[in-house]
Structure 1
């Protein structure tokens, strides 16, 4: 067997940053830790959220409409914060570190939530079972903990299932077939956690105490974090590929700027399609399709591409430098009339440079329509 056959071919690496070894990482060796983490996390989430309106009403002394609104606001936050987790995972941190970071925030939030229902001083003052009068500080502590949980669950939610998918190499048919089985067990674990939370934990909150009702989910979340970190040597990790929003905007702008350029019939002539791997570090190669073919224009290399990039880059950098320098040239003071005329005339020179830069860009764009475009002979390196 060739040496390369020991390693995954989808660009994944192990926890040390080395190419992932097929025999030592990924597949079902790593998935039980991810599934266990998800089961405990869902138990913690549903355990504290299923009965939340009741806590608002009977412990924070809120009217039913206010309690319902607060619960909906919190639930909505839980479904917005995944945008943060997904962006950080894909662009900068990677899924492993995103899950690790937000899991820690999650644990702190759940712990503070349990303490807010247990510890004297931050626990709402109650004169009877359903007669409580919390202070502003006590309510604030509870809501800080609640929204820490919202941030934690939002950071984890978009990453865990895709992180499990990362453990299977799509280029290997045997591993690819096992991926569907992983998702079956993954969603089964979610339902198990939700079932226990919605039945057992709700009963504990109503019949034992809110301290235990929030404490058990906090313990479950701590177990989830322990599950996750214990599988670290077995995970396969995809490297983050930078901001996808930046690349998306670049494609849109380049496509509209080249709207007159003809798309070659041979799609292999499109820039970056020949190589087996993506030229974007940490990103996978995506199969070319006929959908939204207009955006293929962004991948047609032209003679003016590099000229335009250099010119625009020089323009923006020079404009920024000259404007900032002109504003701050007079001992950091703003205004057109300087305090000292013998010193202050220099800023007018910088403003003149800024105006000239604007005129330079206008002239460049004006004559750009006369540029000639040349189709590439092959893929550029």
Structure 2
């Protein structure tokens, strides 16, 4: 293998922040630990959430409506916290350290939930008339649940992308293997969910809640151990900095050049000469005709080159502008879906 073919060409590094060596990192040698982590994490998540309404009804004397509402609020939080995890991963921590740090929070939450279901003092006392939880015992249970919700927020948005990072997009052979990885990834999710919704629900119903939550807690501990064991084999994408800062730069640069005319030839718009984007860990984006006003941020004028390197608050790359356009598209899509949903709800039956 030639010297230039030893290292990946997608900008990934190893755990020591050195260029990733193809022969020692990534590929299936790293993915088996990621798949093991995902299988155990999903088993833990579904193992404690599938039967959660019954648990709140039985141990905390909550009615069906109250218990369902509490579980719905908790589940909704589990789908909101990935916004936090995704932002931290892309902007500052990177996917590896985001998964690692949030997994620890997840494990603490699982252990606390298990203790609240099994440990005298934390477990609500029960007699023939039912269970009698104190406010402190109820608080311990919900603190555990929302720690789990925060923990899953760092894992859910990162783990599939982190697995994809183990395959060099610029390598034809590795690119073909990436699609196979996603097949195995979703297979791992389904295996974990299957075991959780069958075996663990049976344990919770027929053995005890302590064992029913304890097994998912052990599964989560195994998940984090599996993840850390593979550390020296992983390829890591370098975080690209805050996207909010880049969005503000495009807005400011566009307003500063409000009277500047955008050239008809869009190839004249500013872009870095390097093969990679100036946003670390991201590829260059092609120009589109959406929200043309923001193209002004990429028009290079004489004052932009006076002090050497361009001021990002005055001159932005095409990739940076298209990043803003894409986010705007997502916002418009979300608004359209909300409007359509509202119209369906309000439609007379």
TM class by shorter chain equals: 0.7 to 0.9
Q: 1:282-333: CA deviations, max 9, x gaps?
A: 23222313242613321112235589xxxx9xxxxxxxxxxxxxxxxxxxxx
CA contact (8 A) 2:272 2:278 kept: no
Q: Aligned partners of 1:286 and 1:292: how far apart in 2?
A: 17
SS of match in other structure, 1:70: helix
Asked if the contact 2:107–2:221 (Cα under 8 Å) also holds between the matched residues in 1, the reply is yes
Question: 1:220 — aligned with what?
Answer: 219
Distance 1:115 1:20 in 2: 42
**Partner of 2:103 in structure 1?**
103
Counterpart of 2:124 in structure 1 is 124
Aligned to 1:63: 63
Q: Deviations over 1:4-37 (max 9, x none)?
A: 2100000000000000001111111111111110
SS in 2 for 1:59: helix
In structure 2, the residue matched to 1:92 is 92
- Residue in 2 aligned with 1:171? 170
Residue 96 of structure 1, CA deviation: 0.4
Alignment of 1:264-343 (within 5 A): 264-280=263-279, 282-292=280-290, 294=292, 295-305=294-304
Counterpart in the other structure of 1:23: 23
Matching residue of 1:181: 180
> Is residue 79 of structure 1 aligned with residue 104 of structure 2?
no
Aligned to 1:238: 237
Question: More displaced, 158-167 or 251-260?
Answer: 251-260
- Structure 1 residues 266, 172: closer, same or farther in 2, change over 3 A? farther
Determine if contact 2:276/2:284 at 8 Å carries over to the other structure: no
Inter-partner Cα distance in structure 1 for 2:101 and 2:81:
14
Q: 1:306 to 1:141 in 2, by over 3 A?
A: farther
Partners of 1:297 and 1:274 lie apart in 2 by 19
Q: Deviations over 1:145-203 (max 9, x none)?
A: 11000000111100000001111111111111111110010011101100110111011
Tell me the equivalent position of 1:317: none
Structure 1 residue 254: Cα displacement: 2.1
Structure 2 counterpart of 1:347: none
Distance 1:25 1:191, change over 3 A: same
- 1:321 is aligned to none
Match of 2:248 in 1: 249
C-alpha distance in structure 1 between counterparts of 2:252 and 2:40, whole Å: 45
Distance 1:47 1:33 in 2: 21
Q: Does structure 2 conserve the Cα–Cα contact (< 8 Å) formed by 1:258 and 1:297?
A: yes
Quick check: 1:268–1:274 contact (8 Å CA) kept in 2? no
Q: CA deviation at 1:206?
A: 0.5
Q: CA deviation at 1:61?
A: 0.7
**Is there any run of 5+ residues in structure 1 with no aligned partner, and where?**
313-372, 374-381
Deviation digits for residues 203-247 of structure 1 (CA, Å, limit 9, x no counterpart): 100000000000000000000001100000110000111101110
Change (3 A) 1:202 1:235: same
Structure 2 residue ranges without an equivalent (≥5):
315-349
The answer as to whether partners of 2:20 and 2:235 remain within 8 angstroms in 1 is: yes
* SS across alignment from 2:261: coil
The separation in 2 between residues aligned to 1:8 and 1:283, in whole angstroms, is 13
Deviations 1:26-60 (A, max 9, x none): 11111111111000000000000000000110101
Shift of 1:256: 4.0
**Aligned residue-pair number:** 308
Whole-angstrom distance in 1 between the partners of 2:66 and 2:269: 57
Structure 1 residues 54 and 113, CA gap change in structure 2 (3 angstroms): same
Relative to structure 1, is the Cα distance of residues 75 and 298 closer, same or farther in structure 2, using a 3 angstrom cutoff? Answer: same
Q: Tell me how far apart the structure 2 counterparts of residues 25 and 253 of structure 1 sit (CA, whole Å).
A: 41
Match of 1:340 in 2: none
CA apart distance, 1:268: 4.3
After TM superposition, the score normalised by the length of structure 1 is 0.77
